[in-house]
A and B are shown apart, each in its own frame.
Chain A
């Protein structure tokens, strides 16, 4: 974990791909893509199960570590309509049942538009972007916002680090531009897109369970 200051707020970046905003006891994650493996299975692609459960376990770990009261999911909760498989939804429901006291908020993303909101029994507040919580604005698409500093997902950012002798590594990352922060995708069966940071951007890569500032 690494603590940074953003808009004079202290944010903790976790290598489990989440941000903890301590003052608000809020855990921020993006792009869980629950049911992606199930979506693929329903199309006849034999992908092993267990990814959604593993991701939920990671979330449990985060909740314990941070003692968060609330989770804000920045879009793309369920991967696709076909991902609403009974097993997947049951896994999420079971997780929810053991975290009853948590407040859950989903800021809808592009996948949610097609996959639909999570079932109401899960008791997740589903809102359209932007969700304003000064100094931040929660939204799915990374873009500057007139209402504050944007925190978003969608792009599944990764950064390429280069060293001497042609050495290079690709890391999922948190990217903070002067107007908008993007979280790495939380779902483990998701790809990522290399971002090219510009001057003035701050980038934190995730490697071996550590969050590392990247120049």
Chain B
């Protein structure tokens, strides 16, 4: 039998038939091509990528037993590793190929690590971080000498992040050693697949092919419409008032997934469901990224088997793992983006003849508009793209140290290698020189400190200076930054997960909090662990986790504006719009519904101060930048102090004194000109760059989270990244990491180009100022938002005097 026949026979034995796209990928692989396969989850992408090298093996005269590493499988999530391994293993067994298949992540057992030190398996499933640890070994090149294929799973998820850049760098290294290595990426269908291809391939010469997997079946998006509509929607009200309808939806299905946007929300909903249906204890579960691995594995397993009625989860269940039994998906709160809603919808309907369906549960009235708008966008085929990170120097510093450990590098050759990635294609000589100086003696400002050196030059190669630095470097490899997290453990020993220090710090012994779906009593903190015991109480405080809040995407924002424009013209189409009609009419009565070409500003004075509400409807990140920019420009005209609240529809500038809005508008505060100077200045003013520096400081190795179990000895090394930012600004202001903080805030945080486009649009819009007598439904969620940025052009001492004069 030819390899192809054997493959077909194995498929037939399982009752399958290869899809055309799978055959296409196998042929392309054998032909030496690389490529990107895009399709929804659970449609056979895994075997499309995996079986090519197996056919290659079967074509050998005698199939070699456990040959050296040939296939590297990179996955963004540790949670996906076990499932991937099982799927790959099934094919090896079915086709009788004697390859060793192993995985390597932070969780891998010491004995397996030891074995892998001596010899790698033929196929290895790993994460970008674990891969870079392999590449820090001096014998890395030999270990990867027979590598034929790198598969990057869920590439769309990686490509917009620094982890994606880390993957690009690793790929460049592997290609540098092994120019013929092929790369195949697996991705969901996103709006910018050409960019996804470019970032994955870098400037590798191999032919690249874009393969479209199975075309998704049609998807149903509907909403649970509240029976009674509150006229003043609360953001953060969390919509638990929709609970009865959510419960009946869960009852309709056999297995439901209830997606929430944050971990806190997941805890709240889990408790709320259990409160009403205590009889469901044991049948419902909770899943999010801060829970112990064991708990999550247990829940995922139950989902696969269909032994659970409902799982309340976060984006932790967005990816990978195929849960065939799931037949009902609910989305609590804003879907934020079209791609994300499609992904979640795709978690259901894996049985023949069943549609994928997602039901949106609004947590406030305007989210009904978003659900209707998302349906419009899906119909119009508008899906968001993922935009890659450009030349992050913090990561390049980290990577250069990794490679300095892995045998070292020669400056010019390595510069070329790094530039072969898409992320660093525009890296300049000067920037590269800066990185070298930064890792060899800490940069210009540290020239005077010869004792400080992480990397040294020896015989023309840059190598790591000592073992202590190497060990510490390995511990801080990676780009995931979390607030210092504490383990949560029972006094009796079981581990429940992790929780942020900031939350625990507010608790006193005896206080209760909800975590992992349980009510716990806080006992004490010792050695980076929060010790707890089970509580019999019915409720407790809900922990909060820092995490970036996703903005409403441009695509969805645009669709929302279109829906509001219709409402203005009296068109309320579909159940969602019908339901929200009274709210929008109230908005029209108190203030107005802005038309698509109008920019609404509401103004009101209350006991709290002078409020200005701006409604560009363009997503919270753009609004964050715009709020800072406008506040900054107004504050340039007169001494004033603003606090800012931001959501996806608009933002509020609140000041203790009245701003001269008309005068400021006449002075062109909305002008798209001088953005290059005004934006960085406004970002400094609200300390956004200072905040962004936290991640950069961590990735570049400026802060050190410590050796596991040795927390005491690293205490004296702690300084907050904010303090470091100030020190750098003062003593080393030309440090490119400071530059990078500004660039990152602008490009990622504020979606720089989107901000410019918004200003262009606003400057063409008709400006309408409404002096309102009470808060409008649109302004209400902003009024009650407590997390605020601040900007002031008053002297701090004057502010303090004004504040204490009250």
Contacts and interface: CB of A to CB of B under 8 A. Distances in A.
A45 B609 CA distance: 45
Chain A interface, DSSP helix/strand/loop, else mixed? mixed
Contact of A46 (B438, B788, B799): B438
Contacts of A36: 716, 719
A212 B800 contact: yes
Interface in A175-211: 188-191, 205, 207-210
Contacts of B701: 44-46
B481 to A, nearest CB: 16
Contacts of B732: 48
A209 to B, nearest CB: 8
A87 interface: yes
B790 A167 contact: yes
Given A43-B717, A165-B654, A167-B643, A207 B800 contact: yes
B655 to A, nearest CB: 7
Given A44-B472, A46-B452, A87-B449, A39 B802 contact: no
A42 interface: yes
Interface centre among B448, B717, B723, B799 (most CB of A within 10 A): B717
Contacts of A107: none
A57 B731 CA distance: 15
A46 B800 contact: no
A45 B716 contact: no
Interface stretch (B54-62, B260-268, B327-335, B439-447): B439-447
B703 A165 contact: no
Contacts of B730: 50
Given A46-B702, A79-B716, A164-B656, A51 B804 contact: no
Contact of A162 (B449, B788, B803): B803
Contacts of A106: none
A111 B715 CA distance: 11
Contacts of B654: 165-166
Contact of B731 (A49, A190, A207): A49
Contacts of B800: 161, 169, 171, 205, 207, 212, 214
A46 B727 CA distance: 11
A169 B791 CA distance: 11
B14 interface: no
Nearest to A188: B727
B606 to A, nearest CB: 9
A141 B446 CA distance: 34
A163 B724 contact: no
Interface string A78-110: 011010010100000000000000000000000
Nearest to B611: A165
A207 B804 CA distance: 13
B609 A208 contact: no
A41 B790 contact: no
A10 interface: no
B454 interface: yes
Contacts of A50: 445, 730-731
Given A164-B806, A166-B786, A191-B720, A212 B655 contact: no
Contact of A165 (B445, B469, B643, B801): B643
Given A36-B719, A79-B716, A49 B799 contact: no
Contacts of B806: 163-164
Interface string B437-465: 01000110110110110100000000000
Interface string B711-722: 000101101100
B498 to A, nearest CB: 23
B725 to A, nearest CB: 11
A40 interface: yes
Contacts of A43: 472, 704, 714, 717
B608 interface: yes
B780 interface: no
A47 interface: yes
Contacts of B801: 212
A51 B446 CA distance: 12
Contacts of B723: 189-191
B393 to A, nearest CB: 13
Contacts of A80: 716
B354 interface: no
Contacts of B656: 163-165, 167
A200 B796 CA distance: 26
A209 B795 CA distance: 11
Contacts of B449: 41, 49, 87
A205 B797 CA distance: 9
Contact of B802 (A111, A163, A209): A163
Contacts of B788: 166
B728 interface: yes
A207 B469 CA distance: 40
A53 B802 CA distance: 35
B803 A163 contact: yes
A79 B788 CA distance: 35
A85 B731 contact: no
A121 interface: no
Contacts of A111: 716
A37 interface: yes
A8 interface: no
Given A163-B799, A205-B800, A208-B796, A47 B702 contact: yes
9 contacts: A43-B714, A43-B717, A47-B446, A49-B448, A85-B451, A111-B716, A169-B800, A169-B803, A171-B800
Which 5 residue pairs across A and B have the least CB separation, nearest first? A163-B803, A46-B442, A165-B609, A48-B445, A48-B731
Interface of A: 36-37, 39-51, 79-80, 82, 85, 87, 111, 161-169, 171, 188-191, 205, 207-210, 212-215
Given A49-B449, A168-B790, A191-B720, 11 more contacts: A41-B442, A43-B472, A43-B714, A43-B717, A44-B452, A45-B704, A46-B442, A48-B727, A49-B448, A164-B609, A208-B797
